[in-house]
Structure 1
Amino acid sequence: MTATLRLALFTLLLAPSFSHAGLKTGSEDNAVFGGLPYPIEAALTAGQKLGVVGFETPYSLTPAAEYDTVLLQGEMSDPALRVEIAVKGRSFFSAASVYAPSSSRRFSNGRFWARFSVPLTRQPFKLRVVNLGAADGAKLSFYEAEMTVESLSREAPPPPAEKPYIPDPSLSLPYSAPFKMIRRAEWKAELPKSSYTLHQPFYFTLHHTQGNYPKTPEAAISEIQFVQDYHQNAKKWIDIGYHFMVDPFGNIYEGRPIRVEGAHVLSRNTGNIGISIMGNYHPPVSNPVTPASAGSFVTIGRYLKDTYAVNVSSFYAHRDIGNSDCPGDDLYARKAELRDLIFTPQPAPLPVNLSDAPPLTPAQQQSLTRLKTYLLSIEASPQ
């Protein structure tokens, strides 16, 4: 090997990796780990030693731009598990840098989130699970693993306040709205971190939560409480990002007030109403889209159409206007059907009272007279 070739090879080994096959800065999509589908399932086997890495993914694809924050959310069966990330070294000779969460939380039902702060980088990373004394067979599911830049993804930090910000009730959906909604107070929402930005709705976006698929209405309330906590404390948003959430039973939950900006599509929130159906509608999970949840989405869409003059070209799915797989392939396949149900004129309802019915035609009147005559003849005939 010539000296020139050796020098070229040595330079290549020392050079940082700049493959642009991954995600953009401020991306809303998940990192890709060697083709592993979400949710990424980690199961600890019997006999693993305490404090050792019991599971790790391959390195992610290299992002197309820099990131300084990694956000994870999922489900953890045992609190004696710790999630870490390992960011790949910048050269062949550099070791990976391992990071513990800068903040995290696990709910009593196992739902968890973790936020990692790292120096600004473009390097791939891997997910790791460490056993701190968990029971044999403990499991952890990663529903999301998002790379972002904090300054681009977080909302403006709340100013110092002498007292909590309590939104004006007039910002919310009026009680005269033609559908029932579970209000923030009913699902025990936390107060927003600071004041909202007002807006006038003129389009709306379909999402899925890419999280837990509630089996009961009580589980749905636990899930929306988790989503708010994840948005406020992991993503550093003022409040839950969506305006409405819908559970599989068709219950509609109030998120942000309808007259304020949400935080559900990167840089596309002014005038945009976010409606999220709880669950994961992307393969291989593919939760079923229930008639009740689809019907409630249509109900909200019709209200927006009638109240804010939203037209058929102003209905989007998240992936239409953002770098995301949301709302999943299966729910996205229903978009045209939902659009038609919202915007196609519906037939007039049948009259409730006979007095409201249109007059009978002569043929209908003749048939009715014959029927009455026949019934009277039956009553008059001997038994």
Structure 2
Amino acid sequence: MGFRRLLFPLSLVISAAPCAAQEEANPVRFQEIPAAARVEAPVGSKVDAPMWESPASDPVEAAFDAVLFDGYAPDSRFVLEAALESGSLRWVPAEIERFPNGRFWGRIPISGRVGTALRLRMRSAGISPGQVVEIFGVETARAEDERADSETTRAQPRQGWFGKRLGFPGVISRESWQAAPAQAPYEPMSPARITVHHTATVRPLRSADSIQEMRLIQRYHQRGRGWIDIGYHFVIDGAGRVFQGRPEAMVGAHVRGRNDSNVGIALMGNFSRKKSQRPNRPQIHSLIALVRWLIVTYDIEPKQILGHRDQQKTACPGDGLYSRLGHIRRSAPPGPVLSSLGSRLTLPAWLETRLGATAFYDGGRIR
């Protein structure tokens, strides 16, 4: 056989979570396991030679007009395609956006109805032998106005709110991570609960990689899912840095049908894998500080600190993070917001020492 064929699900299935960049909203599943794969380019493969092909997926649960995915590959010379399971397979190639650190996301313009099954495959475009392509998650999507899930009708946002500096000390502004503008006006809300997520992908430690991850998540949400902006209000990277997403007093897009009054905080990382990666000390420390600030600022009750899975059928934020929410609630009552973080978030010395010069994220294979 001239290529290596890897089928779902195997030991190569590395994610049991639902949104990539992403916790997937409508994950493509194989034998009830969300799709993910690690494909190694074989020796002697030629351009256009197949590298991997999946069996038919489980029937999808919603109509769709695109397939979305994200992953990591140092060598970008590959093509990912999808086809509807039918008598004759018509393969549709993906449009892929790549980032300098090897991260990528893509969209395959293919449509199907409820109950449709999909096949996926990867072809070589000259990729070097031994290079690895990792797919973190695959989902179906349908272009829609994110506000279709709103619980109530709201007035227009206050003029001049967008771009205002947030009050949480040390937050990394949208300008600092080079966020794209929101594609429509936000809708105001009064925060009354907090939802904790994981991104179900990588956990960058260095600032430059975290900035690229923020930009990838925003592009995935805006250009892939068709939302007006990144869905989360705050995102915490592997070094404990807190990034501003949407302004926290504006409606987000992170829990379908329950976004009103709901502040979304996502921790970078995948906390649902078999050998579960767990949130590290800097992430938990920053999450507690951020939650305290939100509770004090908006008079939110600690019992309103929820996991995504408490409100929707999903594995998010993964067992490794969900198990820490009791500790987060107990730590949340008013106290020092940044007793040891200072005026800005920096990489702790113990973590800086451990990193060396080349680490991209901890808890995984990427270097």
Give TM class, smaller chain.
0.7 to 0.9
Residue identity (%): 30
Query: 1:26-175, aligned counterparts within 5 Å?
Result: 28-34=25-31, 39-89=36-86, 94-101=87-94, 103-121=95-113, 122-151=115-144, 154=146, 168-169=160-161, 172=164, 174-175=166-167
Letter paired with 2:42: T
Paired residue secondary structure (1:275): strand
Distance 1:111 1:167, change over 3 A: farther
Match of 1:288 in 2: 278
Whether contact under 8 Å (2:32, 2:58) holds in the other structure is no
Letter in 2 for 1:248: G
Aligned with 2:109: secondary structure?
A: strand
Letter in 1 for 2:51: G
Q: Using the TM superposition, give the Cα deviation of residue 83 of structure 1 relative to its aligned residue in structure 2, in angstroms.
A: 0.7
3-state SS in 1 of match to 2:65: strand
User: In structure 1, which of residues 303, 312, 321 is the aligned counterpart of residue 302 of structure 2?
Assistant: 312
Greater C-alpha radius of gyration: 1
Query: Is 1:239 the equivalent of 2:247?
Result: no
Give the conservation status (yes or no) of the 8 Å contact 1:171–1:258.
no
1:280 deviation in Å? 1.0
Q: Distance in 1 between matches of 2:158 and 2:90?
A: 42
Alignment length, in residue pairs? 306
Measured after TM superposition, the shift of residue 320 of structure 1 is 1.3
1:296 positional shift: 0.9
Alignment partners' CA distance in 2, 1:294 and 1:301: 10
Contact kept, 8 Å, 2:53 with 2:122, in 1: the verdict is yes
| Alpha-carbon distance in structure 2 between the residues aligned to 1:120 and 1:35 | 19
Q: Give, in angstroms, the shift of residue 38 of structure 1.
A: 6.1
1:124-182 deviations in Å (ceiling 9; x for gaps): 11221110111111221111111233236x568xxxxxxxx99724774544x4x3211
Which amino acid is the alignment partner of residue 133 of structure 1? G
Structure with the larger RCO, 1 or 2 (CA within 8 Å, 6+ apart): 2
CA RMSD of aligned residues (A): 2.6
Task: Summarize the Cα distance change of 1:52–1:174 in structure 2 as closer, same or farther, 3 Å threshold.
Answer: closer
Q: Structure 2: which amino acid aligns with 1:187?
A: W
In 1, the alpha carbon distance for the partners of 2:176 and 2:197 equals 23
Structure 1 CA distance for aligned equivalents of residues 43 and 287 of structure 2: 45
Code of the aligned partner of 1:252: V
Task: Specify the alignment match of 2:241 in structure 1.
Answer: 251
Distance 2:56 2:273 in 1: 22
Change (3 A) 1:56 1:155: farther
Helix, strand or coil for the counterpart of 1:302?
helix
1:261 counterpart residue number: 251
What is residue 187 of structure 1 aligned with on the other side? 177
| 1:76-133 CA distance string (max 9 Å, x none) | 22221011112201xxxx12332222x3311121111111232332211122111011
Cα deviation, residue 30, structure 1: 2.4
What's the CA shift string for 1:176-200, capped at 9, x where partnerless? x4x3211111122111122111111
Query: Contact between 2:195 and 2:264, CA under 8 Å: does it hold in 1?
Result: yes
Deviation at 1:285, TM superposition (A): 5.6
Query: C-alpha distance in 1, partners of 2:93/2:67?
Result: 11
* SS in structure 2 of the partner of residue 196 of structure 1: coil
